[in-house]
Amino acid sequence: MDATGVQGSVQAFGDEDAREMQAVANGDKAAFTRLFDRHQASVVRFCRRFVADEARAEELAQDVFVKLFRAAKSYQPSARFKTFLFRVATNACLNDLRRPAAKAEVLEAKVRDDDGLSVLEEGADAATPLHALEAKEVEAAVQRAFGKMSDRERAAFAMCRFEGLAYRDIAEALTSTESAVKSLIHRATVQVMKHLAAMAPEGSAV
């Protein structure tokens, strides 16, 4: 794609991040710093859904941004930047899970006290110890559900529910189809609901 085509794709998406990637490709290190600052927290959050360990998630996130920097010159804005970013992040996480002990680490990991990933994070009143405890219990149930999901279910669910990506963007990130993504998210949601139901008092509804 020539420069005119690249610029047209960027304008079509209205994607400031894609413009930053063009700047990185042209040697603008400050543009890369802006991308890192803008997306580092969400990439760590996404990676932690796979490895359930803060330190390892941060290491994986660093690897993702190294790969992103190296890919700048070959990057083509044919999709939203965030789609490209999470494709790189997903591949990094799936490769990490191929380590012999990785599955056991995910299943056995405990949610940290300072975990900030609660599904109740948005709109929840965490001002009281009771609400904070409830949010933590829900988060623990969700993390247990993640341990029961397939790798692709985990990736699709995290991108959809926690990062807000549309089905079409998730499909592109996973090199899949929208219908397949919907099935992945449905199965993952069923797992989450099962674990939330298990923590509810007997006779009550989730």
SS3 content of the chain, % helix, strand, coil (to 5): 70, 0, 30
- Number of structural domains in the chain: 2
Q: State the pLDDT at residue 206.
A: 45
Q: State the pLDDT at residue 109.
A: 47
Q: Which of 27, 93, 83 is nearest to 56 (CA)?
A: 93
- Taking the alpha carbons of 45, 47, 51, 54 in that order, is the dihedral positive or negative? negative
Q: Do 155 and 205 fall into the same domain?
A: yes
| Burial of 37 from C-beta contacts in 10 A (0-12 / 13-18 / 19+) | exposed
CATH number for the domain spanning 201: value is: 1.10.10.10
Q: How far is CA 142 from the centre of its chain?
A: 14
Q: Which domain holds residue 13?
A: 1-109
Q: State the pLDDT at residue 128.
A: 54
Name residues whose C-beta falls within 8 Å of residue 37's C-beta, 6 or more positions apart in sequence: none
pTM for this entry? 0.71
Q: State the pLDDT at residue 195.
A: 85
Which of 84, 109, 134 is where one domain is finished? 109
Q: State the pLDDT at residue 162.
A: 87
Q: Do 93 and 104 fall into the same domain?
A: yes
**Can you list the residues of the chain whose pLDDT is less than 70?**
1-14, 99-135, 200-206
Tens digits of residue pLDDT in 137-168? 777 788 888 888 999 999 999 999 888 899 99
